Amino acid sequence: MVAVTIYSKDRNLVRRCRDLFGGSKRTMHLPAEKKLAGYDISPKDTLIIDFEACEEKDLPEIACPCMALVAIPRKNQALRLLQKGIRAYGNRHMHEENLKQAVATLKTGQIWLPPAIVTQVIAALPVTKAEDEGEELLSTLTSREAEVAKWLVNGLSNQEISEEMFVSVRTVKAHLTSIFKKTGCRNRLELATRMK
């Protein structure tokens, strides 16, 4: 069974994906000599699209879990691609552990974005909920957890939160783990969306 299908003209990227996801028996390469729309891609496939081989305007309807890899990730492009059905987005030279995490997240039906993009998206979210709804969500948290959540909603990274609160990044991560457990949120973006 194929674990990952990759559309790319970059042999090094294809080799890297094969090494990460189980070799040629578990990965399929779609050569970029043909447009992506020309391939029959199953909704069960997990597709990685190398945007060195595909432009946004050439992106077909996306029916399967799909990740876009780009040279330089940008918030506006991430948002456009999310609207087109892409559910994971990142740098084509990202660390192997991040690539594995992105594909695993994609396979569970969740969205994966680089932390810097998530922070920018959270900061750009409009405030749409009544203030008491956010306060109700915070009422389940300790005072320190609530403080971390408020900084997160303002778009701060873990490092920035640690500097504001005079605690270690590790402490911020521990608070976030507890916050996600108590609120039922799976990630920063979901928490920020619910609070705003």
Domain ranges of the chain: 4-112, 121-195
Which CATH architecture best describes the domain 121-195? Orthogonal Bundle (1.10)
Instruction: Return d(Cα 105, Cα 97) in angstroms, integer.
Output: 12
pLDDT at 154: 86
Q: Quick one: pLDDT at residue 134?
A: 65
With 60 as the cut, is the pLDDT of residue 184 above it? yes
**Using 50, 70 and 90 to split pLDDT, how confident is the model at 115?**
confident
With CA atoms as reference, report the closest residue to 156 among 127, 119, 187: 119
* CATH for the stretch 4-112: 3.40.50.2300
More confident residue, 166 or 196: 166
123-165 residue pLDDT tens: 777 776 555 566 777 888 999 999 999 999 888 889 999 999 9
> Which stretches within 63-142 are classed as H helix?
75-83, 96-107, 115-124, 131-138
The pLDDT tens digits for 56-113 are 888 888 889 999 999 999 999 998 998 888 999 999 999 999 999 999 989 888 889 9
In this prediction, residue 129 carries a pLDDT of: 55
